[in-house]
Amino acid sequence: RKEVEQDPGPFNVPEGATVAFNCTYSNSASQSFFWYRQDCRKEPKLLMSVYSSGNEDGRFTAQLNRASQYISLLIRDSKLSDSATYLCVVSDGGATNKLIFGTGTLLAVQP
Amino acid sequence: DGGITQSPKYLFRKEGQNVTLSCEQNLNHDAMYWYRQDPGQGLRLIYYSQIVNDFQKGDIAEGYSVSREKKESFPLTVTSAQKNPTAFYLCASKPPKGPSSGNTIYFGEGSWLTVV
């Protein structure tokens, strides 16, 4: 089983749609969780951290379910500029807290 | 402006040659990382360094070498022993632990290496 698993997509959605991405992780000792956004042929950039209580940043909402080892990202009112690959990132739970990256979910928002 | 600078952005290497990718940061971060990204795969950790003059192998260190002689600099050498070096290479750094930094890492713009 992969340490971090994501549906690769692509998710093709119309502008204005709500879309949700899911991610599962295998290490119950993981303590830090993030969503990164990566545009084509660019470096990943931090979108948001994910907290146990859930957190929201504008149109983006992240949820964490530690019992099920599951993370989600909800994007409301999708914009064309949201088209990108979304990477689920989890710490390895070790002493150095290295980050493990999922393979990403591709989102294409259509006009 | 503070940031992480990688160079060169594009590099072509002949088989059997060693090449070095530069990574410089002026963020005063202690920890630095090198990742490799291949199409359809997640980022894989090559090497990391938590402090000057110290570095550790990541998951795919074979065929690579690094040095950390200065806090600001963490160059990666792709040696001829790396059989499939064509990839997108990303350098990253992490701020010191603090109330607002979490465990977040920040990336440079990446270097594209192609073997010809």
Chain B residue numbers touching A43 (CB-CB < 8 A): 90, 107-110
As to burial, measured by CB atoms within 10 angstroms (0-12 exposed, 13-18 middle, 19+ buried), residue B63 is: middle
Q: Is B104 close to A49, i.e. CB distance below 8 A? A: yes
Taking only the tens place, the pLDDT of each residue in B66-87 is 999 999 999 999 998 888 999 9
**Which tens digit of pLDDT belongs to each residue from B24-68?**
999 999 999 999 999 878 899 999 999 999 999 999 999 999 999
In this predicted structure, which of A50-64, B10-24, B86-100 has the lowest mean pLDDT? Answer: B86-100
Please answer yes or no on whether B107 and A99 come within 8 Å at the CB atom.
Answer: no
Closest residue by Cα to residue A5 from B90, B105, B37, B42: B42
State the average pLDDT over residues A77-84: 98
pLDDT tens digits, one per residue of A38-74? 999 999 999 999 998 889 999 999 999 999 999 999 9
Contact B103 A31 (CB under 8 A): yes
Mean pLDDT of B9-37: 94
Q: What is the pLDDT of residue B103?
A: 72
Kindly determine whether residue A91 and residue B43, on different chains, have CB atoms separated by under 8 Å. Answer: no
3-class state of residue B101 by DSSP: coil
Q: Is B21:B6 a contact under the CB 8 Å cutoff?
A: yes
User: Could B107 and A32 be called an inter-chain contact, meaning their C-beta atoms sit closer than 8 Å?
Assistant: no
Give the three-state DSSP class for B27: coil
DSSP state string for A26-53: S-TT---EEEEEE-TTS-EEEEEE--TT
Q: What are φ and ψ of residue A81, in 5° steps?
A: -70, -10
At residue B41, the pLDDT reads 82
- Chain A: residue whose CA lies nearest to B112: A41
A101 near B CB under 8 A: yes
Of A32, A41, A42, the CB nearest to B103: A32
